[in-house]
Chain A
Amino acid sequence: MKKLINDPKNVVAEAVAGFGAAHADLVTVSSDPIFIVRKDAPVAGKVGIVSGGGSGHEPMHGGLVGPGMLDAAVPGAVFTSPTPDPILAATKAVDGGAGVLHIVKNYTGDVLNFETAADLAAADGVEVRSVLVNDDVAVKDSLYTAGRRGVAGTVLVEKIAGAAADRGDDLESVALVAERVIAQVRTMGVALTPCVVPHAGEPSFTLADDEIEIGIGIHGEPGRERIKLEPADAIVDRMLGPILDDIPFASGDKVLLFVNGMGGTPQIELYIVFRRAAEVLAERGIEVSRTLVGNFTTSLEMQGMSITVLKLDDELTTLWDAPVQTAALRWGR
């Protein structure tokens, strides 16, 4: 394993310190407990938006803090949910009197720690609403699993909820918009190589040279099946089927198509994927009216990508287009 790190124990603290130094115009970083808030927090009268989760998915969530998106991000240890203390501290730091929305990815650890923090915040007089993102169609949502995982669709939830808060919606309305995005967004991922958690020092799973994992989670959790490597178009077709059949998406729908890199896949390959995904959508009569391509929800150095499709309506489109100013997403300002 080769990594640009010092002591594995200090990976998150050092990365967050570096992020704060690099983006001092946008954010302020707290080192104990560790969280990242937008520089002008709290914004009086605006609903605060807080997300977080294990580190290793950068730029999510720290890179999405700034006007028009998140008010705070709470990074845990690599692939480990943050504890309630920093979530509580971040929640209080962004409460401008209009309450705080927690955007939580559906993993047992994240849910339990955010739940505990929300209870503590309520006890301190801060109104908190929580939404759970569960866009991953690779895993079955049933009584027999912990439910669908939250993956790259989280970025779209955060952008649109952030825009709703920015235009002055109250807490209930922001939560409803977030819930609507969650109801209309679906994702599936694929891994070509595993990732290596710094303190573990070994790959979190193994794949033979000619194997790929369809339906991979963003922590390297297994998905639907392990198959031999195929041409990019065949892989895209294999992934889009379950995504499009899930809601389902129908001819005439307008969608946002998001091709997300897992960290180790070059942009040139992401665009090959995008090309095919757009073709398939066109064949089905689905209009790609907004797009996003790049590394947003990564899994350390994993080679792979995910495809996310969000069904848009006029309001969600307007909120997507609204100005945003963060380290990773920036337009209109």
Chain B
Amino acid sequence: MNLDVTWAKAWIRTGANVMSEHRVELLDLDRAIGDGDHGENMDRGFQAVLAKLDAVPAEANPGDVLKMVATTLISTVGGAAGPLYGTAFLKAAIAVQDKSDLDGAALVALLTAGRDGIVLRGKAESGDKTMVDAWTPAVDAAAAAQASGADAPAILLAAAEAAEAGALATEPLIARKGRASYLGERAIGHRDPGAQSSALLLRAAADTATQG
């Protein structure tokens, strides 16, 4: 499938469904090392996004979809995840705003800008046991795939797989940002809920690109 506005809508629609399906899993992860609201907040935010998705015109660009996602998540999610995901989608939208079809280079730019937005807002670094630990491997894998000549769906697939591995790799870490940082060594053995929801979203992007 061409990575155009139809794909962007399909990605976000799938992403919203995935957040609903994984609501309890994310709640459980967050209850273990946070305050137990991540699944609820992400589901609420993406349901609000879903309600606005059809109103995005068919002649819009993928960036317009991402911008709507950004403003909606900022207004509805709350907690730390709202501003972090909101900023990620906003920066990603700006990175591809004039393009109607996203090629490999545009995808890498989108992912890089999203990751940079999260780092800018949350000031977390790799290894802090946060969303960044899913996003940075995803950005690196996407860039490597693009450099080796992979097509756009393959680039997203590489990003999704790297994000999943990155989320899994947060389990042995001690958290240095967010509420889990108060746990010290007690955070060891638990996956970061934000890294997990990030991996789910990137997997939805890859699935919708490869299915088309």
CA distance A82 to B80 in the complex (A): 10
Is B79 in the interface zone, CB < 8 Å from A?
A: yes
Q: When A112-B84, A145-B181, A146-B178 are in contact, do A221 and B78 touch as well, CB less than 8 Å?
A: no
Specify which chain A residues have a CB less than 8 angstroms from the CB of B183 in the assembled complex: 221-222
CA distance A149 to B79 in the complex (A): 15
CA distance A144 to B177 in the complex (A): 7
B181 engages A79 (CB within 8 Å): no
- Which of B35, B40, B41, B74 lies in contact with A219, CB distance below 8 A? B35
CA distance A166 to B25 in the complex (A): 48
Is A202 in the interface zone, CB < 8 Å from B?
A: yes
Is A217 in the interface zone, CB < 8 Å from B?
A: yes
Specify which chain B residues have a CB less than 8 angstroms from the CB of A217 in the assembled complex: 182
CA distance A84 to B75 in the complex (A): 6
Specify which chain A residues have a CB less than 8 angstroms from the CB of B80 in the assembled complex: 81, 107-109, 112
- Which of A76, A79, A85, A205 lies in contact with B75, CB distance below 8 A? A85
Q: Closest Cβ of chain A: how far from B8's Cβ, in Å?
A: 23
Is A293 in the interface zone, CB < 8 Å from B?
A: no
Q: How big is the B interface, by class?
A: 20 to 34
Q: When A85-B75, A116-B74 are in contact, do A221 and B82 touch as well, CB less than 8 Å?
A: no
CA distance A80 to B38 in the complex (A): 9
- Residues of chain A in range 108-125 having any CB-CB distance to chain B below 8 Å: 108-109, 112-113, 115-116
- Output the nearest chain A residue to B176 by Cβ-Cβ distance: A144
- Which of A84, A144, A145, A222 lies in contact with B74, CB distance below 8 A? A84
Specify which chain B residues have a CB less than 8 angstroms from the CB of A145 in the assembled complex: 176, 181-182
A80 engages B179 (CB within 8 Å): no
- Residues of chain A in range 138-197 having any CB-CB distance to chain B below 8 Å: 139, 143-146, 149, 197
Q: Closest Cβ of chain B: how far from A150's Cβ, in Å?
A: 12
Is A220 in the interface zone, CB < 8 Å from B?
A: yes
Q: When A76-B78, A200-B31, A204-B36 are in contact, do A222 and B179 touch as well, CB less than 8 Å?
A: no
- Residues of chain A in range 56-101 having any CB-CB distance to chain B below 8 Å: 76-85
Is A199 in the interface zone, CB < 8 Å from B?
A: yes
Is B114 in the interface zone, CB < 8 Å from A?
A: no
- Residues of chain B in range 165-193 having any CB-CB distance to chain A below 8 Å: 174, 176-179, 181-183, 186
A112 engages B36 (CB within 8 Å): no
Since A54-B78, A83-B77, A145-B176 are in contact, a sample of 15 more A-B pairs with Cβ atoms closer than 8 Å, ordered by chain A residue number, is A76-B78, A80-B79, A81-B79, A83-B75, A83-B76, A107-B179, A108-B177, A109-B81, A112-B83, A115-B83, A143-B176, A144-B174, A200-B40, A219-B35, A221-B179
